[in-house]
Amino acid sequence: METARLFKRAIGDLWHVGKNYYSLLFIQIFCQSSLTFLSFFYMSRLVNQLNVGDSQAITSLLIQYLSLFAVLQLTSTLLQPTIDNHSEITQRKILEQPYEKMLRMQYHFADNADTVQRLERIKFGNLSRQSSLYLINIRIPFLLNHIIRMFLGLVFLAPLVRGTNLTVEGTWLWVNSPWVLLIFVVGILLSILSQFIGSQKVAHFMESVGEEIIKVNTLFNYENELLSDVESGKEIRLYQLEDKLNENQLVANEATFNLMSKLNRLGTNWHILTVVLGQLLNYAAYAIIGLRVLLGFLPIGQIIQLSSALNQVLANLPMVIQQIAMILSQPDTLVEYYAFMDLPEEQAIGSLPIEKRLDNDYQIDIKDLSFTYPGATEATLSNISASFDIGKKYAIVGENGSGKTTFIKLLMRLYDPSSGQINLNKIDSQKYKLTEYFQLFSVVFQDFRLLGLKLGQNVAVNQQYDADQALATLTEVGLEDYIETLPNGLETYFGKEFDNSGVKLSGGQAQKVAMSRALYKDAPFMILDEPTAALDPVAEFEIYQKFDEIVQNKTAFYISHRLSSCRFCDEILVFDQGRIIQRGSHQTLVNQAGKYQDLWQAQAQYYQ
Question: Helix (H, G, I), strand (E, B), or coil: what is residue 559?
Answer: strand
Burial (CB count <10 Å: 0-12, 13-18, 19+), residue 4: exposed
Summarize pLDDT for 316-329 with one digit per residue, the tens: 887 887 777 777 76
Look at residues 361, 349, 408 and name the one whose alpha carbon lies nearest to residue 384: 408
Domain covering 349-450+505-606: architecture: 3-Layer(aba) Sandwich (3.40)
Q: How far apart are CA 517 and CA 531, in angstroms?
A: 13
State the 10-residue block means of pLDDT for the chain, 608 residues long: 77 90 94 88 81 81 89 93 92 86 79 78 67 77 90 80 52 59 70 70 65 67 68 65 72 72 67 70 72 71 78 82 73 79 72 78 91 86 92 89 90 90 91 88 84 86 86 86 86 80 80 86 87 64 74 84 78 93 92 88 70
Cα–Cα distance measured from residue 419 to residue 368, given in angstroms and rounded to the nearest whole number: 7
Contact between 458 and 513 under an 8 Å Cβ cutoff? The reply is: yes
Strands 525-529 and 441-445: parallel
Exposed, middle or buried: residue 140 (CB in 10 Å: 0-12, 13-18, 19+)?
buried
Helix (H) or strand (E) holding 59: helix 55-104
- Alpha-carbon span 589 to 592, nearest angstrom: 5
Distances in Å between the Cα of 231 and the Cα atoms of 238, 357, 495, 543 are 12, 45, 11, 25
Give the whole-angstrom CA distance, residue 220 versus residue 245.
9
How many angstroms separate the CA atoms of 342 and 451, rounded? 30
pLDDT of residue 86: 92
pLDDT at 345: 76
pLDDT (0 to 100) of residue 269? 65
Q: Is domain 2-341 in CATH 1.20.1560.10, yes or no?
A: yes
Which pLDDT value is given to residue 531? 65
Any idea where the domains of the chain sit in the sequence? 2-341, 349-450+505-606
Q: State how far the Cα of 582 lies from the Cα of 573, in Å rounded to an integer.
A: 6
Kindly write down the DSSP assignment for every residue of 77-144, as one continuous string: HHHHHHHHHHHHHHHHHHHHHHHHHHHHB-HHHHTSHHHHHHHHHHHHHHHTT-SHHHHHHHHHHHHH
Tens digits of residue pLDDT in 515-535: 888 888 888 999 988 766 556
Among candidate residues 558, 561, 580, the one with its CA nearest the CA of residue 570: 558
Give the pLDDT score at 166: 47
Identity of residue 164:
T
